Structure 1
Amino acid sequence: MLRKVIALAALGLALTAGPAAAATHPEHPHQLGWSFQGPFGKFDKAQLQRGYKVYREVCASCHAMNLMYFRNLGQKGGPFFDEKYPNPNDNPYVKALAAEIQVNDIDSETGDTIQRPATSADRFPSPFPNEAAARASNGGAMPPDLSVIIKARHDGPNYVYSVLTGYANPPPGLTVAPGQFYNPYYPGDLAAYWKGDHHSVPKGGFIGMPPPLGTGKVTFDDGAPSTVAQQAKDVTAFLTWASEPKMEERKAFGLAAMIYLLLFTVLLWFSYKRIWRNVAH
């Protein structure tokens, strides 16, 4: 009797473990060569400027960047840094970019809510007044804040680029709910929606964001081709800079520290040899 109970239990575990065993992983992100990678990597200023334009004209309609201020765009290492204006608040180009955006404020005399042109001291405005409004406008999904999205995702730059360019037609046999989109680079488990062989469940998952980029959707001021791949690369670079705006300074400091430690080690070695050269040991 005990053997039968154990056998039935094992069979039950095997059956219930079937869907879990069929769970899939997303496709491995494309591995691109970024200018900012490596110990000597730096941001491409023109690319950051294009990336900001993609964010402002495409992504900002749904995604906030609550940790970013307009003045950050003009700080050292930023996309619109100008040595003539060490204080980014004085940068006229940054001021002009900020003034294109309307932000909410309070009338000091009436207390009413008003809108005014942003200044360099303002944060990037959120596209929605609160989370409930954001979810209501996006089918119940909450668009993530992009301030540090690159740091928040494994293999951040490559992952974001791959998701932005990875939208694909769902394979036959995969049921996609309204308002959902198949993306092989987006994490998920498609086993419950797959009608084919459970040993060959498609990789990837469903994402609630429609394909945001399109050929010619953004016109770049420097004449760069406005392809989906170019837009994705540029906005990914911009989001990487936003996630770590002091990266170039950190790398420069690290290199200087390594050179100092190397010279210090050499001096210590020669000092050691000079001081103890006549001592038997």
Structure 2
Amino acid sequence: MVRIGAFLVGLFFAGWLLISFLFGAVAYVSDPPQPTVEHEFHKAPKHVSFSFDGPFGRYDRQQLQRGFQVFKEVCSACHSLKFVAFRDLEALGYNEAEVKAIAKQWAIKTPDVDPKTGEMSTRDPVPADHFPKPFANNVAAAAANNNAIPPDLSLMTKARHHGSAYVYSLITGYQPQPAELLREFPDAKTPEGLHYNPYFANLNLAMAPPLTAEGQVSYGDGTKPTVDQMAKDVAAFLTWTAEPKLENRRRAGLATIVFLLIATGLAYMAYQNIWADKKKAA
């Protein structure tokens, strides 16, 4: 009896799902969704190659240092890296003295408490500190950025599909609104204070173009600082902030695959050796 009841309940729900699907299909065919400006003009990230692409890719330390320089001189005015400490920069090739100098010279001081009075104060960052936030709080951040709070960039390339290419495309993707867009969607004109970018989800964002001219950052290694190069370098740096152990993870994965292949081969040879006499007897 219980089985019959369970069968009937399951049959009821299956039938209800089928009816819902049929009604939804009919509604979709008779009244299809109207195209939206985001659907029509949003673009997938550009194709761009990085040294860390593929299973055997590795970070280019010089590129990461250039990317950090772009972040420091351009992006850090609005964006934070709350999950990255100054001492983590040693992985980019900076020595201990250089990391101390970078922390001490950072434009934003670190909040602290005076141990004698208990009052809030500030001090120069030290290597153990994480990168300070550029604004005291979200209210101050929104007030300085057209009511938009700049996101933390520590994990940005993991939070976006094709993260490295997305960051590169967004930085280099600012352009005037296409005339075709305004013809098809007259009400979709970019609002005052926002900027059109087809690589952003809703096409308009509050962030102004961060890289606008060649030579905006002066590289010490002789690399020509074009907008394209700077965008690619900072995208690589933000990939490292999101995945600092990428190379170790790939090395461990490769070693695991080699081990499994060898173990499989040994297991197969052991199987052949153990069962060889039994097969002949059979």
Query: With structure 1 as the length reference, what TM-score do the two structures score?
Result: 0.81
Q: How far did residue 57 of structure 1 move?
A: 0.8
Q: How far did residue 170 of structure 1 move?
A: 1.9
* 2:103 paired with 1:98: yes
Which residue identity lines up with residue 177 of structure 1 in the other structure?
A: P
* 2:109 paired with 1:111: no
SS in 1 for 2:276: coil
**Cα deviations by residue, 1:193-230 (Å, 9 ceiling, x for unpaired):** xxxxxxxxxxxx11110000132111111111111101
Q: What are the equivalent positions in structure 2 for 1:124-203 lying under 5 Å apart?
A: 124-172=131-179, 173=182, 175-188=189-202
- Residue 69 of structure 1, aligned match among 75, 85, 88: 85
SS in 2 for 1:276: helix
Matching residue of 2:59: 43
CA distance in 1, matches of 2:59, 2:173: 24
SS in 2 for 1:278: helix
* 2:95 paired with 1:79: no
CA distance in 1, matches of 2:260, 2:178: 56
Matching residue of 2:222: 223
CA distance in 1, matches of 2:132, 2:117: 23
- List alignment gaps of at least 5 residues for structure 1: 1-9, 83-90, 189-204
Q: 1:17 to 1:61 in 2, by over 3 A?
A: same
CA distance in 2, matches of 1:147, 1:41: 21
Q: How far did residue 35 of structure 1 move?
A: 0.9
CA distance in 2, matches of 1:30, 1:176: 22
CA distance in 2, matches of 1:210, 1:21: 21
Identity %: 43
Matching residue of 1:209: 207
Which protein has the larger Cα radius of gyration, Structure 1 or Structure 2? 2
The Cα RMSD (Å) is 2.0
Q: How far did residue 130 of structure 1 move?
A: 0.8
Which residue identity lines up with residue 37 of structure 1 in the other structure?
A: D
Which residue identity lines up with residue 137 of structure 2 in the other structure?
A: N
Task: Please state which structure has a larger fraction of its residues in helix.
Answer: 2
Q: How far did residue 23 of structure 1 move?
A: 4.3
Q: How far did residue 80 of structure 1 move?
A: 2.5
Matching residue of 1:260: 259
Q: How far did residue 34 of structure 1 move?
A: 1.2
Which residue identity lines up with residue 185 of structure 1 in the other structure?
A: Y
SS in 2 for 1:24: helix
Q: How far did residue 18 of structure 1 move?
A: 3.9
SS in 1 for 2:123: strand
CA distance in 2, matches of 1:157, 1:246: 16
Q: How far did residue 25 of structure 1 move?
A: 4.8
Matched residue count: 242
CA distance in 2, matches of 1:21, 1:219: 39
Q: How far did residue 81 of structure 1 move?
A: 5.4
Q: 1:211 to 1:80 in 2, by over 3 A?
A: same
* 2:58 paired with 1:31: no
Q: How far did residue 149 of structure 1 move?
A: 0.3
- List alignment gaps of at least 5 residues for structure 2: 1-26, 183-187
Q: How far did residue 113 of structure 1 move?
A: 2.7
Q: 1:23 to 1:42 in 2, by over 3 A?
A: closer
Aligned partners of 1:47 and 1:234 also within 8 Å? yes
Query: With structure 2 as the length reference, what TM-score do the two structures score?
Result: 0.81
Aligned partners of 2:86 and 2:129 also within 8 Å? yes
Q: How far did residue 51 of structure 1 move?
A: 0.5
Matching residue of 1:88: none
CA distance in 2, matches of 1:62, 1:106: 24
Aligned partners of 2:38 and 2:201 also within 8 Å? no
